[in-house]
Chain A
C-alpha cells in the first residue's frame, strides 16, 4: 500500500481494529484514529470529550483515547487534498464533531451530532443510537445517501459535495470559529422541523429557502448571526453559486478547489490595500505617514527602508479603510498579534505580543464601524521580547484593553503601553538602538481575502512566533529603519 492509500484508509482500518480489539478485549486501550476532512483540516485544535488533545496533523489525522464519546475539531487550515501539508493558507473557521468511532469528521457528521443532541438536556450524554437516527434524518432531509455521511470526502464525490455545501451554508452565517456551532445548532433545528414535515431542504439552487429558515431560527434566538433581509439574499445568492459549482464538480479534488475558491470569494473581511495609510508615531518626531505599499516595500534606499524613525516607536496605526466588511461581524472572537523583529540574522532583537481574547465588531460595508475590544476584564496579553543579548522574556499581563484599539478611523497598536509595561519590569527597549525591523500585524480567526486591482485573491498570510506557538493569519508586514 503506498503512502497515499495508507493516509486514506488508516482511520477506517484503525477503527475496525479498535472495534475488533474491544470485542476481543485484547487491546482495549488503542486510541481512536480519525481524520478531519472538508478538504483536509490541518493544525486544528482537537478535543476529545471536551479535553484538549493537541492538533490535527497532515491529512487531518488525529486520535482520541479509547473510550472517548465525541471528538471535536476547531479552526486550523483547509489544505484541500494535500496529504502532507501540516499548515495552509486557507483558514478553516469552523467546528466539526463526530463520534470518536467515526473515521472521518466532516460537516455532515457535525450536523448529525447536532441533530443527535436536539431535544436532549444540555448535559445529556451522547448517544450513538441517537446519532445513527440523526444520520438517517440528515440523509433524508438533505437528499444525501446515508452511506455518504460516513465516507471520506476525499474519496467519495457525494460526501465531498455534501460536506462542502453544508460548510458553505454554515460559513455564510458564521464569520469565525466561535460562531460556527451556533449556526450549526440553528441548521439542525431547521432540519428537525423539516423532517417532521417530511420535507426536503435544498442546498443548491433552492438553498435560499434553507438559509432563510436558518436565519429565522437565529432571529428567534436573538443571535447576532442573524442577517438583515438584503444581506441574507446576497449571502444566499453567493452560497447558491458556490454550491452549484460544487454540484457540477466531477471529482472530490474539483469540489475542494471550488469550495476553497468560494470561501475566499465570500470571506467576511476583505483587505483593500489601495490608498490605505499607515501612520508610525514616535517620541519627539512628527508621525511618519506612508501608504501600505511603501510600508510593505523591502527595497532599500541608501541602506534604509522607506519608513525611517529617529526615536522610539510609540504606535502603529492602520487606516480603517484597509478593512472592508462583507457581512456583519458581531463580537467575533479573534486573535490579534503584533511583532517588531530585526531583519538582521545576527541581531536577535524582537518584540511580539498578542491576545487571543479580542472581540471584533463591524457592520457590513462600513469600515469606520470597526470596534476592537478585549473580551473581558480578565483578558490578557502575552508578550515576548528578545533583547540584543538574546535574553528572552515572556510575560502574560492583564491589559486595560487599549493596546489594540479602533477609534473609527484607524486600528491602532499602542506600543507605548507595551513599552511602559516592559520598562517597569526592567526589560530592555529593543528599539533603543539602530536597526532595520519588520513590523507585522496578524489577525487570526476570521476568513479574510484581499482585493488587488479589483481581483479578489487569498489574503497574504504571516506568522508570528509567540513562544507558545506560531500565530498564523492575515495582515500586514511592513519595514522600518530606526536610526539613532
Chain B
C-alpha cells in the first residue's frame, strides 16, 4: 500500500493534468488534506505556417507555430477526505494561417465523496464544475465569404461561453497498486458575444465597416466610393439586420449544446511513480447549429474520442511532475464553444491530433 503522502501527491498530480482535456477529474485523494498549486503547459503535434495579413498589405513571413497551446495554473484545496475544491486559470493561443486567437479560461469545481454508498476501498465521487472562456476580442484577420459579401476582417467583441458539467466517478480498487476508474459526465455549454465588428469589401470595391450586436447594428461606408460619398445604415433590431444582410449576432455567434459521455481509465501507482491510461467518449448534441456550419460539414450530433497515457513521479519532498500524451479525434472547438459560430467555425476543427502536456505541482 502506498503511503498516504505519496498516494495523495500521485493522485492529485494526475487529476490536475487530466483537467486539461475537457474532463472533470478533480479526483479526491484517498486520504489526507492540504493545498496544492500546479503549473501546466500544453501543446499539440499539429503546426501551422502562420503568416498574417499586414496592415500595409501583403503577408508576414511564415512562422511555424503549434495550432494550439496553453499555459496556466491550478489551485486545489482539500479540507478533508470528503471534499475537494479546485480552480484554474489558463490562457490558450490558437493559430491558423492568418489568425491568432488568445482565449482565457477560468474554471472552478467541487467534488464530494459519497461514503455511504460504497464500502471501502471502492469509492463514488460526484463533482460539479463550471468553465468560463473569455476573450476581449477575437480578431479574424482573414477573408470570409459571408452572405454574398467578402468580409476582409472581423472582430468578435467580448466573446464568452460558460460550460456547466456534472460527473460521477466510480473507483474500483483492483489491487494495492491498481485502480479502475469509471466515470460518466454530462453538461451543457452556452456562448454569447456582445457584438461583432468588422470590415467588408463588396464586388464594386466599396469598403464598409460594420458593427452588429444583439440589439441591432450599423453598416458604414469607409470612404467615398464612386458617387457615393458616404453611406450608413442602422438596424434597430437584430431581426431587421438579419432580414437585410443575413447577419444576426444572436443567431450567428450565439451557440449552445449538450454533451455527455463515459470515461474509463486504469491507474497504477507504486513508490512515487504512477502510470495511467484511459479512453473517453463524448457525445455532443447541438440542436441549434447554424445552417452555414452545417453546409461546411458541421453535424448537429457528433462524437469525440480520446485515448491518453500519462505518467507521474514525485520528486523532492513536495513536488510532483506529470506528463501526458493524448490522441484525440475531436475539434479544438469543443474546448471553446464560442468559436463554434459561422465566422470562426472553419478554424480549429482538426479531427485528429496528438496533444502533449506537462504539469508541475507543489503541495503544502
Residues of A at the B interface (CB closer than 8 Å) are 380, 389-399, 425, 427
Contact = CB atoms under 8 A, between A and B. Distances in A.
Interface of B: 227-237, 239-240, 243-244
Given A391-B236, A397-B228, 10 more contacts: A389-B237, A390-B236, A390-B237, A392-B236, A394-B231, A394-B232, A394-B233, A394-B234, A395-B231, A395-B232
Centre residue among A380, A392, A425, A427 by max chain B CB count within 10 A: A392
A392 B229 contact: no
- Which 8 pairs between the two chains have the least Cβ-Cβ distance? A396-B229, A398-B227, A396-B230, A390-B236, A392-B234, A389-B240, A393-B233, A394-B232
Interface of A is mostly: strand
A391 B231 contact: no
10 contacts: A390-B235, A390-B237, A391-B233, A391-B244, A392-B233, A394-B232, A394-B234, A397-B228, A398-B229, A425-B231
B231 A393 contact: yes
Nearest to A348: B236
A390 B237 CA distance: 8
Contacts of A396: 228-231
Contact of B243 (A380, A389, A398): A389
B233 A397 contact: no
B235 A391 contact: yes
B230 A390 contact: no
A135 to B, nearest CB: 44
A391 B236 CA distance: 6
B148 to A, nearest CB: 11
A378 to B, nearest CB: 9
Contact of B240 (A391, A397, A399, A425): A391
Nearest to A395: B231
A308 B236 CA distance: 31
A468 to B, nearest CB: 11
A397 B232 contact: no
Contacts of A425: 228, 231
B311 to A, nearest CB: 61
A77 to B, nearest CB: 29
Contacts of A393: 231-234
Contact of A397 (B227, B235, B239): B227
Nearest to A381: B229
Contacts of A395: 228, 230-232
Contacts of B233: 391-394, 427
Contacts of B244: 389, 391
Contacts of B234: 391-394
Contacts of B240: 389-391
Nearest to B231: A395
A427 B228 CA distance: 14
A91 B235 CA distance: 35
B229 A380 contact: yes
Nearest to A467: B232
Nearest to B220: A394
Nearest to B240: A389
A394 B221 CA distance: 10
Nearest to B229: A396
Nearest to B244: A391
A397 B243 CA distance: 25
B227 to A, nearest CB: 4
Contacts of B235: 390-392
A396 B230 CA distance: 5
Contacts of A389: 236-237, 239-240, 243-244
A401 to B, nearest CB: 12
A399 B229 CA distance: 10
B241 to A, nearest CB: 8
Contacts of B237: 389-390
Contacts of A380: 229
A398 B230 CA distance: 10
Contacts of B229: 380, 396-398
B218 to A, nearest CB: 9
Nearest to B237: A390
